[in-house]
Amino acid sequence: MARYRAILFDLDGTLLDSVPVILNATERVFAEMQLPYDEVAVRRSIGIPLVVQAVKWAGDRAEEFRERYRPIYNAMQEEQVRLFPNTCEMLQTVRREGFLTGIVTSKGARGTQRALDKAGISSLFDTVVTADDVVLYKPHPAPILKALENLALEPREALYVGDSFFDAEAAHAAGVDMAGVSWGVVSREELLPKCSAGVFDTWDEFLRRLIFCTPNP
């Protein structure tokens, strides 16, 4: 029998195939503002709220960075951002098996709702915690702890699923088990040591191992 009552998910790079769009939009803003672009550094920063990233990349021009980024990303998102394969089916299965579900993301509330609505999965979550709901962001545990509070659960009763070091560090600090996915911003090899519940290459494998608790064949 599965030992969790709730499964909490990161959004970008975990459920949504949005990392290429984030990188493309960010590169365009760097070019427009004539800032030096480092894709590796930008990729590693995915998972930090835009307001924090803007200060990191543009300093006292942070507001300009945000104002340029949002319309570019929103336009690209409408055309290019999709769920990773079998994500909707996975979420439906998790809920059908009786688990509570939640989103814990560093996106703002409007961007999160827009993304969930576009993907058609808004109704599949019992709680959604965004950057607008907390003062401290991942890798701080506050967002995950907020989701647990909303669900009236203890850390031992939840699993967090994500794709980045920020996700893993937040989960560890919150006292919840962490499951990684190999298709996000960090490689399987880098993420594995930080994931107490393992790293998974497909949602089918995730369901088999952690939801149905079936051993590897």
Residue-number span of the structural domain to which 44 is assigned:
19-80
Report the CATH number that the domain containing residue 151 is assigned in CATH. 3.40.50.1000
Burial of 182 (0-12, 13-18, 19+ CB in 10 A): middle
Q: Would the pLDDT of 132 be above 90?
A: yes
| 217: pLDDT strictly greater than 60 | no
Q: Are 22 and 12 in contact (CB under 8 A)?
A: yes
Q: Does residue 76 sit in the same domain as residue 90?
A: no
Total domains in the chain come to 2
Q: Is the peptide bond before 139 cis (omega within 30 degrees of 0)?
A: yes
pTM: 0.92
CATH number for the domain spanning 69: value is 1.10.150
- The secondary structure element, H or E, covering residue 178 is strand 177-181
Residue 2: per-residue pLDDT: 59
Exactly one of 10, 17, 163, 177 is catalytic; name it.
10
125: pLDDT strictly greater than 50: yes
Question: Do 91 and 162 fall into the same domain?
Answer: yes
**What's at 28, amino acid-wise?**
R
How does pLDDT run across 64-103, given as a tens digit for each residue?
999 999 999 989 988 888 999 999 999 999 999 999 999 9
Query: Is 132 noted as a catalytic residue in this protein?
Result: no
